[in-house]
Amino acid sequence: MGPPVVIRFSMRDLPPKKDGASSMWRKAAELGRLKALRREASRAMGGRPLLTGRVELTIEVYADEKAGDLDNLITGVCDGLQAAHPLTPIDESEWLDVPREARPHRAIVFADDSVIAAIHATRKAPADGQPRYEVSVVGQ
């Protein structure tokens, strides 16, 4: 086994939020954030193979409580880094502005978030009032 792979990226917005029983992949309010997450994660992966084995995820969210529950924001990131469930109806025309490797049917960082062995998450007040988040993924 080689050295661990570390993927890091930052976003100037809130993470996509998984909230309730309906899929975030179909919520208009989450679509822009989900696209941005997948574009940036794909860029950060730089063509590397998907991470397998033990994966650790660190997320720092800079936003107040009005942004939503921290666990919903974490789940949005976790689900957004893998492919959408194959039974999720996706309107492909809404994803034409996203590179193929970042579209919903493709896993970006890991095939399934079940490989995540540890999650470290914090929410902090943004110093400038603008929401943002930072993601670090370590794995093999």
| 3-state DSSP of 22-90 | CCHHHCHHHHHHHHHHHHHHHHHHCCCCCECCCEEEEEEEECCHHHCCHHHHHHHHHHHCCCCCCCCCC
Domain containing 81 equals 5-139
Reply yes or no on whether the pLDDT at 21 is more than 90: no
Reply yes or no on whether the pLDDT at 1 is more than 80: no
The CATH number covering residue 83 comes to: 3.30.1330.70
Mean pLDDT across the chain, nearest whole number? 95
Domain count, the chain: 1
Model pLDDT, residue 115? 97
Instruction: Look up residue 111 and give its two tokens.
Output: 């095939």
pLDDT in tens, 28-85: 999 999 999 999 999 999 999 999 889 999 999 999 999 999 999 999 999 999 999 9
